[in-house]
Chain A
């Protein structure tokens, strides 16, 4: 794009170098499953979909890192297909895995498995049907952001892509339905142990949802997978009495509405700056400033949670293994 060979070469090499640590990461993710017994729950389905889709998208990126190839393919639908491949595979599938996995911890009840599976399969199949034709179209010369086109040979591929988009739409609808169904049936899916997945990490030792202070007592961690190891040992010796816990009061930050109110003033200020409405700019900035002043001069920044309150909460929300 107007630059000389050495600039293009520099960027080509830098782009290819990205693939090296990314490859290491992909092996890291694969090895988290090595030697384990994999349960194909909804979060894991999304994770597997993420790994496969992200790798394919990454490979087409390295393909485009070669400057002569990029000269042809830049701003074509090949590029569009590539970045959707990595973003949908990487960000979206990963986010959905996290959403399904941690939803019970955050809200206290699990999401419906069946609708979760349906949404995953619709998304996965829909994504490939929608975007693989775009790679072909890019190679055939179709560029991005076209208002209209007159090349008939592109038409069949675009129709296939449109069908894929509809399948993705079905996947989105399944996600919405999943949420609605789960909220309606939340008492059946209630997470009472705090550990619905039989997890390895420390967050599963808290009740679902966790209190504001997260851990009533600082966890005593001496090894990797500390929570998991303690669970195994507790399972081995069934009748050990629970150790009495030593509660100390915890200082938590005091809540404040400053952020919320300031966001409102920030919107006003931004809008006014765009349209040069200067009186509104002054109003927005002053409003934000005064709000921050109120926050600045507040008397106490922290609230103390007493040891009794911690003990009381622990009694009412017994988890299976308190670490």
Chain B
């Protein structure tokens, strides 16, 4: 299609108006932008993964992953996060249908499961520090605490965000902007679970092996 035309060659009214197709709806634009942010967050995590992969054998005579990691605990944490991703999905369906009770219930279960994950992780960290496996003990432990801690920080911030969003739904109802923000939250929450899949595989399962 030749776009280089002059006024003599066309009738201005017959061409489709520039704004007929229009820009994409706000929901699409907002979610796409948030998706790009999430990808950048995943790039940051990949850098932390690279650091961990390089340093996982630098235990400086201290405790190794095989000695420290409790697989049952990790399995429960994984189940919590996976289930919370599922309930987050159910919450999204309730939001799309503007069902308040379903939304609050889905959010509450997601929050509880995420909170349980975080509690188990904090307990794991506390136990490790109590026996002297602190971030300063070895490069392996520094890398471990950094990447797992960073993920946990994201989960904690996500829980705060979820609580604020429920307050928003309570005060303002299902306004378009509230729906858009909840869509971003569910993107965030699912991405966190995706990162956890990588984390438990590389850190815990491979750590047990070597």
Chain A residues engaging chain B, CB cutoff 8 angstroms: 218-224, 229, 233, 293, 296-297, 301
Contact = CB atoms under 8 A, between A and B. Distances in A.
Contact of B3 (A223, A229, A296, A301): A223
A219 B19 CA distance: 10
A137 B12 CA distance: 64
A101 B171 CA distance: 48
Most buried by B among A219, A222, A293, A301: A222
Interface string B5-30: 11100101001011100000000000
Interface in B148-192: 164, 168, 171-172, 177, 181
B6 to A, nearest CB: 7
B7 A233 contact: yes
A301 B177 contact: yes
A220 B5 contact: no
Given A296-B168, A297-B168, A297-B172, A224 B4 contact: yes
Nearest to B172: A297
Contacts of B7: 229, 233
A222 B168 contact: no
Contacts of A296: 164, 168, 181
Contact of A222 (B12, B172, B177, B181): B12
A219 B17 CA distance: 10
B4 A220 contact: no
A222 B5 contact: yes
B171 A297 contact: yes
A223 B7 CA distance: 10
7 contacts: A220-B18, A222-B5, A222-B12, A224-B4, A229-B7, A297-B172, A301-B177
Contacts of B172: 297
Nearest to A224: B4
Nearest to A230: B7
A219 B12 CA distance: 13
A229 B6 contact: yes
Contacts of B177: 301
Given A296-B168, A297-B171, A220 B3 contact: no
Interface of B: 3-7, 10, 12, 15, 17-19, 164, 168, 171-172, 177, 181
B168 A218 contact: no
Given A223-B3, A223-B4, A293 B15 contact: no
Nearest to A218: B19
Contacts of B168: 296-297
B6 A223 contact: yes
Given A219-B18, A233-B6, A296-B164, 19 more contacts: A218-B18, A218-B19, A220-B18, A222-B5, A222-B10, A222-B15, A223-B3, A223-B5, A223-B6, A224-B3, A229-B6, A233-B7, A293-B164, A296-B168, A296-B181, A297-B168, A297-B171, A297-B172, A301-B177
Contacts of B19: 218
Contacts of A218: 18-19
A229 B172 CA distance: 50
A221 B164 contact: no
Nearest to B2: A223
Contacts of B4: 223-224
Contacts of A221: 18
A219 B7 CA distance: 15
Nearest to B167: A297
A220 B168 CA distance: 41
A80 B94 CA distance: 59
A222 B18 CA distance: 9
B29 to A, nearest CB: 13
Most buried by A among B12, B164, B181: B164
Contacts of A224: 3-4
B30 to A, nearest CB: 12
A170 to B, nearest CB: 42
Contacts of B3: 222-224
A221 B164 CA distance: 44
Nearest to B8: A233
A136 to B, nearest CB: 39
A47 to B, nearest CB: 25
Contacts of A229: 6-7
A298 to B, nearest CB: 10
Nearest to B7: A233
